[in-house]
Structure 1
Amino acid sequence: MAEHARVVVITGASGGVGRATAREFASRGDRIALLARGEEGLAGAAEDVRQAGGTPLEVPVDVADAAAVDRAAERVEAELGPVDVWINDAFTGVFAPVRDIEPEEFRRVTEVAYLGYVYGTKAALARMLPRDRGTIVQVGSALAYRGIPLQSAYCAAKHAVQGFHESLRCELLHDGSGVSTTMVQLPAMNTPQFEWVLSRLPRHTQPVPPIYQPEIAARAIARAADRPRPREYLVGGSTVQTVLGNRLAPWLLDRILARSGYASQQTAEKREARAPANLWRPADSADGRDYGAHGSFDDRGRAVSVQQWAARRSGRIAAAALGTTAAAGAVTWRLLRRSKK
């Protein structure tokens, strides 16, 4: 095992971005605690970690259960050692207009995609603060800044995580704590969530293009864990443009998304009537399938982010954002002209 090996906890580790992130840290020889509900996905993630050179620990847990998350953290420290990095990435959602989402479904998404982050953060803080060291990474989204149609529950949860993160960061700075927190805002990713998300749309769901491969997110999350000083990392040019566009002309984005937001989140294929949904139970428990890190959009997924390449070399995400301001302004101008036609 490498001398620099760390203990890294990843929630939502059985698939998608969490799965790719586990492989990224494992390639460094780290000890990885994999937290998720699905047994098939956890087993696959553990094998990925072993193949990449890391040490896995499978911890079945529902992050919506605060006591269970704390017990999971206790087990991790007992079996792997003190937690150095805690990454909150668990996800669930519902694709439907607000009128078609049940109250209990809103509650469930909030419990997983927001409160799950709160419970994970508190479990990490309970162990990191007495040691005065450690890093917490919140995996966010461009949708933490800009709500879009058909994903109201998920957008609301990401907005909540953003506010929670900012409050916690201020408190840690006030205390002069050696514990750090940062947030990584992601673009549309090619992950299995579009295979298993609960949907009431007539056609198959898809990420809003441009679509990026989960390994881009994994590298950004690892970099954030290494350098948590920035308050957040914006990943992908589309994320930067979304954040800037929403600050400059949110009213314009309202109208554009009202026109294009429904079609851009659906393919031409009809939705399968019996498609798995992971809102109440893991998708792999229904069909015994390990979904892995990638979704069904590999032919459209971008394996490289020019914005991230520039950010790594500048040393500051702000520099990358400034470098794309002109492009974002041009896009906003084009959209403005289009909206007037």
Structure 2
Amino acid sequence: MGGKRVVVVTGASGGIGRAAARAFGAQGDKVALLARGETGLNAAAEDVRAAGGEALAIPTDMADFDQVRAAAERAEAVLGPIDVWVNVAFSSVFSEFVDIEPAEFKRTTEVTYLGFVHGTKVALDLMLPRDHGTIVQTGSALAKRGIPLQSAYCGAKHAVQGFHESLRTELLHRGTNVRTTIVHMPAVNTPQFDWVESRLPNHAQPVPPIYQPEVAARALVYAADHPGRREYWVGGSTVATLLANRVIPGLLDRYLARTGFDSQQTDQPRDPHQPANLWKPADGKDGHDYGAHGSFDDRAHPRSYQLWAAQHRVALATAAGAALGLAGLGLLRGRCR
């Protein structure tokens, strides 16, 4: 799959978006990179070129629909018709809800939810007349299970889930060849924990287990190549959380109330001078390129066996069927003796 497609990746300056852009570039794709931070964008473009792809960096605030539309027009003018659009960009506030200012909650929603809406709208305006294209939404386990200290982010991701389901049914009704799918991520080692707007006493961290951004990137590329499934779950922790939320949501409420505050903080005090990217890109202040990885490399898993199983489910089902068949044959022979 892949190779010389035109792919748009939002939030491409760091974290999952950065790793995904590099992964598409490794397939030989032409990648348009959208984000606010120009230092990270330019470095991401170099990553894509080094991996074997063609890159176009376009500074864009996903909360501004006119900027998103202009970015898409430029991408098509330079690279050609867009085949794949991957929405990744987000922002957040780590705080109890009572301490979040309304403007901060609004901004998080505009970037993390409406940014996806804007990207999807622009992509569909281009793809539907051609009856061709794929839109991949980056979801989260928190799109289906809210946790403390991330009410703005959880609310936005829940909105993305509902939006995806509604849009998918409309596309099915149309009978179009334009596809959409969503990939729900686990906790990922990205720079967001070094630049997120935070009022926590200690440094923020992903809820363990933590996965490397390349795991998420591989999932997004696979979803772009196989958009027939309505959604993908990445990481055993995502599967466990979502299944538990279906069966024992009330018990999970109490568990998260007891553990969710400490599990999202390290034992190190938060730096009161750390950058915050809610209103401005974090790399705009010091020109620092944050890259794809956060500060938890020593604790992050480089692979997801659950993702591997999802990618090979047909082969696994066939093998399981063959094993059951052999077991049944052995049982039958035993009875016939």
State the TM-score, normalizing by the size of structure 1: 0.91
Identity %: 66
- Note if contact 2:15-2:294 (Cα within 8 Å) is conserved in structure 1: yes
Tell me which residue corresponds to 1:299.
Answer: 298
Q: Which runs of 5+ in 2 are unaligned?
A: 319-337
Q: Could you tell me how far apart the structure 2 residues matched to 1:90 and 1:282 are?
A: 12
SS at match of 2:13: coil
Return the offset for 1:316.
9.2
- Note if contact 1:94-1:154 (Cα within 8 Å) is conserved in structure 2: yes
SS at match of 2:312: helix
Return the offset for 1:317.
11
Q: Could you tell me how far apart the structure 1 residues matched to 2:316 and 2:119 are?
A: 26
Return the offset for 1:220.
0.4
SS at match of 1:119: helix
Return the offset for 1:4.
3.7
Return the offset for 1:3.
9.1
Tell me which residue corresponds to 1:229.
Answer: 228
Q: Which runs of 5+ in 1 are unaligned?
A: 320-341
Q: Could you tell me how far apart the structure 1 residues matched to 2:73 and 2:104 are?
A: 30
- Note if contact 1:34-1:58 (Cα within 8 Å) is conserved in structure 2: yes
- Note if contact 2:2-2:225 (Cα within 8 Å) is conserved in structure 1: no
Return the offset for 1:304.
1.3
- Note if contact 1:234-1:317 (Cα within 8 Å) is conserved in structure 2: no
Q: Could you tell me how far apart the structure 1 residues matched to 2:137 and 2:217 are?
A: 13
Letter in 2 for 1:171: E
Listed one character per residue, the Cα deviations across residues 2-28 of structure 1 (whole Å, up to 9, x for unaligned) are: 994100000000000000001100001
RMSD over aligned CA atoms reads 1.5
Return the offset for 1:308.
1.2
Q: Could you tell me how far apart the structure 1 residues matched to 2:269 and 2:127 are?
A: 48
The structure number with the bigger radius of gyration is: 2
Q: Which runs of 4+ in 1 moved over 6 A?
A: 316-319
Tell me which residue corresponds to 1:132.
Answer: 131
- Note if contact 1:10-1:35 (Cα within 8 Å) is conserved in structure 2: yes
Tell me which residue corresponds to 2:321.
Answer: none
SS at match of 1:299: helix
SS at match of 2:187: coil
Q: Could you tell me how far apart the structure 2 residues matched to 1:277 and 1:216 are?
A: 25
Tell me which residue corresponds to 1:204.
Answer: 203
Tell me which residue corresponds to 2:331.
Answer: none
Tell me which residue corresponds to 1:333.
Answer: none
Q: How does 1:47-66 map to 2 (within 5 A)?
A: 47-66=46-65
Letter in 1 for 2:216: A
Tell me which residue corresponds to 2:330.
Answer: none
Letter in 2 for 1:291: Y
Listed one character per residue, the Cα deviations across residues 71-120 of structure 1 (whole Å, up to 9, x for unaligned) are: 11111100000000000000100000001000000000000000000000
Listed one character per residue, the Cα deviations across residues 104-163 of structure 1 (whole Å, up to 9, x for unaligned) are: 000000000000000000000000000001000000100000000000000000000000
Listed one character per residue, the Cα deviations across residues 176-230 of structure 1 (whole Å, up to 9, x for unaligned) are: 0110000000000000000000000000000000000000000000000000000
